[in-house]
Amino acid sequence: MLPDNSFLIQYPHVSRVVRSLFLTAFVAFGVGALMGLFQALHRTNVLRLFDSTDYYTLLTLHGVLLAIVFTIFFLAGVFAWANTRSLDRPPVSKPFTWFWVAAMSLGTTMAGVSILGGLIPASDISADVLFTFYAPLQAHPLFYIGLALFIVGTWLAGIDWFRQFLAWRSENPGERIPLQSFMVLTTMLMWFIATMGVAVEVVVFLIPWSLGLMPAPNPLLTRTLFWFFGHPVVYFWLMPAYLLWYTVLPKISGGRLFSDPLARVVFVLFLLLSTPVGIHHQYVDPGIAEGFKFIAMTNTMFLLLPSLLTAFTVVASIEHGARQRGGTGYFGWLKALPWRDPAFTGMALAGLMFAAGGFSGMVNAGMNINYLVHNTIWVPGHFHLTVGTAVALTFMAGSYWLVPRITGRELYSRPIGLFQVVLWFIGMVFMSAAMHRGGLAGIPRRTAEPQYSQIAFETVAGSVGNLRLQMAFGGVLLFVSALLFLVNVGLTAMNNKPARGLDAALPPALSGPEQSPTILDNLKLWALIAVVLVILAYSLPLYSIVQGAGLYPAGHEASPAVIAPLLEVIA
C-alpha cells in the first residue's frame, strides 16, 4: 500500500495532470522515434520506403515531436510534480491548470496536423520547414498559429507555478525557497525571456506572411530571432534533467545531495547566460559582424561553468550514496551503486553521454573550429548526444522512478527497463559517433540523399559506407529501445500490482540552503540582470540587421496562402 505521505495520496489531482502530460509526451515520443527510424534507413540508403521529397516532412515531424512536444510536455509534468511536492501545496486553481494543458495540447495538434498534411498530395497544407522554422521556408498558417498557442500554453504553465509559489510565500515569509521549486521558477524565468524572440518571429512576421497579409520578412532577422530562442531552449530541456540529477539521483543512489547552494548557483547561471549566446549558431551568416559573433562565442564558453559544477556536485552526491551502501576505495565505491535499477543506470549513462556532448559542443561554440563542421552531419550528432541522450534518456529513466508515484502501480519490469536504457546508450554511441566522424569528412546535414555526384567524402578511418551502416544500425537500436520503453511504461500503467512504499520525501542536502547567501533566492534581481544581459547582447546586432536590409527586403511580395485570394476577391 502507498503510505499517507506518498504524492498520489496527497495530491491526486496533480497526479492526474502529470499523467495527462506524460501521455501526450509518450505518444509524441513514439511517433517521433518511428520517423527517426525512417530517416536513418532512408538517409543511409539501407531501406527507402518513401520518396525523398517526403523526407523533409518526416524530418520536421521527427524534430518537432521529439525536440519540442516530447521534451516540453514531459518537463511540464516533472515541474508540476516537483513544484507541488517541494512547496507541499497544490496549485491555486484547478481550472487554470487544465486550461494551460489544453492550450498546449491544442497548439500541438494544430502544428502536427499541418506537418502531416505535407504527406497528402491533394492537401494544400504543409509545414516542411524543419525544427528550425524561419524564413525563407514557409509553412501553412496552421503550423505557426499552433506553435504560438503552444508557447502561450507554456507561459500559462509558468504563471500557474509562480502563483503556487506566491501562495506558499504568503504562508511562509522569510523561508528559503525549496530547492525543486527554486529550480522550476528559475527555469521558467529563463523560458519567459528566451521565448520573446520566437514570439516576435512567429506573431509579428511568420503568421502575417503565411496568411498573405505581409511580404516575406528579412530572412536574417527571422533567423536571429529564432536563435534568440533556439539556443536557450536547449537549457529548457536540460534543466529538468538537471533537476532529476540533483534531487532524485542522490536518493536512488542511497545518499544525499552534496550541496544545495551549488545547485542554486548553477540554475542562476543558466538563467543569466543561456539566452545572450544564440548568435554562435550564426557564425557563417554574413550579415552579422564578426565582433558580435566573437562576443557570443565568449559568452558561450562561460556556460561550461554550470555544467562543470553540475558534474562535480552530482558525482559527489552519488559517491556519498555509494559509500553509505558500503562502497570503499578511490574507485571501488562505483561497484556499490544500484546499477540494476534502470532509473539510476539510465540517468548515469545520460550524464556520461552529456559529458561527451559537452566536448563536441565546445567545437560548435568555437568560431574557427565551427567553420569546419557547420552545416555538416556533426551538428545533429552533437544534438543527439545532448537532447537525444542527456535529456531523453534522463526522462526515460526518470519515468521508471516517477510513473509508479503518479499511478500507484508497480513498475512492470525492471530488467526490461535496465536493458532498454543500456540499449539506448549503445545505439546512440553507434549513431552519434558515426555522425560526428561523417561531419569531419564534410558530409552535409538536412539532406535526404546519402551521396552527391562528383563529390567524394574522405574519412579518417573506415569508409563512408561503414559510417552509413553504423548510423542505420544505431537508429534501429534506438527505435527498439524506444519501443521497449513505451511498452514497459504502458504495461506499468495497466499493472494490477500496486506500488509499495514510494514516500514523497527526498533526503536533505549535506550542505543545506542555510549555508548559502539569501540573495540567491532573489528571483527579481536575477531576472532583471538576465534581461539586461540579453539587451546588451542583442540590441546592436538586431539594429544592424534592420538597418542593413530592413524588416521586409525590397522586391519580395506577399506569398498568398489563405487570406490573399480572399482579399483579391474582395478587391
Catalytic residue chosen out of the listed positions 56, 229, 235, 242: 235
In 3-state terms, what secondary structure has residue 175?
A: coil
Beta strand segments in 488-563, E: none
Q: d(Cα 110, Cα 559) in Å, to the nearest integer?
A: 21
By the 8 A CB rule, do 227 and 380 touch? no
Q: d(Cα 149, Cα 110) in Å, to the nearest integer?
A: 9
CA 269 to chain centroid: 18
DSSP string, 436-463: HHHHHTT-BSS-S-S--TT-----SSS-
Catalytic residue chosen out of the listed positions 11, 22, 150, 383: 383
Torsion of CA 561, 565, 570, 571, to 10 degrees: 100
> What's the residue count for the chain?
571
Catalytic residue chosen out of the listed positions 446, 452, 500, 543: 446
Record the cell numbers describing residue 309, joined without a space.
559544477
CA 501 to chain centroid: 31
Nearest CA-CA partner of 378 in 354, 353, 393, 359: 359
Q: d(Cα 211, Cα 139) in Å, to the nearest integer?
A: 10
Annotation marks residue 192 as catalytic: no
Catalytic residue chosen out of the listed positions 283, 445, 473, 479: 445
Q: Cβ contacts of residue 212 below 8 Å, gap of 6+?
A: 558, 559, 560, 561, 562, 563, 564, 565, 567
Q: d(Cα 139, Cα 457) in Å, to the nearest integer?
A: 33
Annotation marks residue 140 as catalytic: no
Annotation marks residue 382 as catalytic: yes
Q: d(Cα 178, Cα 505) in Å, to the nearest integer?
A: 12
By the 8 A CB rule, do 418 and 340 touch? yes
Q: CA 82, 86, 87, 89 torsion: positive or negative?
A: positive
Q: In this structure, what are the phi and psi dihedrals at residue 409, rounded to the nearest 5 degrees?
A: -105, 145
Identity of the amino acid at 219: P
Annotation marks residue 231 as catalytic: yes
- The CA R_g of the chain, rounded to the nearest whole Å, is 23
Catalytic residue chosen out of the listed positions 384, 436, 437, 468: 384
Q: d(Cα 373, Cα 553) in Å, to the nearest integer?
A: 30
Q: d(Cα 424, Cα 422) in Å, to the nearest integer?
A: 5
Record the cell numbers describing residue 148, joined without a space.
504560438
Q: How many CB atoms lie within 10 A of CB 34?
A: 17
Q: How many CB atoms lie within 10 A of CB 196?
A: 16
Catalytic residue chosen out of the listed positions 231, 281, 405, 436: 231
Cβ burial, residue 553 (10 Å; 0-12/13-18/19+): middle
By the 8 A CB rule, do 515 and 457 touch? no
Q: Which helix (H) or strand (E) holds 166?
A: helix 141-171
Record the cell numbers describing residue 117, joined without a space.
498534411
Record the cell numbers describing residue 420, joined without a space.
532498454
Residues known to be catalytic: 231, 235, 382-384, 445-446
